[in-house]
């Protein structure tokens, strides 16, 4: 820059002192929650949304109750299926024994040692 060129006085941009808080773009499912012990607040770790503690606890209780109910239903369904598999295994063993008996009746036994064919 040449010595005879100087910036125009008063053209400096003032320092920016105000900013807006930017939320993460898109939908947040609030999957990770932080309990702030100092402020006694419940907030989403990802988007910083603050929840009403009672409402949050209530929704968690409902979510846990639903999960336990689904768990109970799955366990009942599982034990019913295990009983059916056991019955099918018994039936399979019974039918295999019948097939074996029927084959023994139809096919003559081959005595290789005495060569009685």
Binding stretches for Zn ion (CB under 5 A): 28, 30, 44, 46-47
Q: ∠ CA 17-23-26 to the nearest 5 degrees?
A: 150
For residues 94 and 99, give the distance between their C-alpha atoms in angstroms, rounded to a whole number. 9
Residue 55 C-beta: closest distance to Zn ion, Å: 15
Nearer to Zn ion, 47 or 57 (CB): 47
Rounded Cα–Cα distance for residues 4 and 6 (Å): 7
* Cβ nearer to Zn ion, comparing 28 with 41: 28
**Shortest distance (Å) from residue 47 CB to Zn ion:** 3
Query: Which of these, 82, 8, 21, 73, lies nearest to 48 by C-alpha position?
Result: 21
Q: Which is nearer to Zn ion, 49 or 62 (CB)?
A: 49
Q: How far is the CB of 67 from Zn ion (least distance, A)?
A: 21
């Amino acid at each position: 820059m040449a010595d005879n060129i100087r910036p125009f006085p008063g053209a400096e941009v003032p320092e920016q002192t105000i900013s807006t808080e930017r939320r993460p773009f898109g939908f947040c499912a609030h999957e990770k929650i932080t309990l702030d012990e100092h402020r006694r607040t419940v907030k989403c770790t990802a988007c910083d949304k603050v929840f009403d503690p009672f409402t949050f606890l209530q929704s968690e209780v409902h979510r846990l109750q639903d999960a336990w109910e689904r768990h109970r239903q799955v366990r009942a369904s599982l034990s019913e299926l295990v009983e059916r598999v056991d019955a099918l295994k018994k039936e399979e063993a019974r039918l295999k024994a019948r097939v074996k008996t029927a084959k023994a009746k139809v096919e003559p036994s081959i005595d290789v040692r005495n060569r009685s064919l």
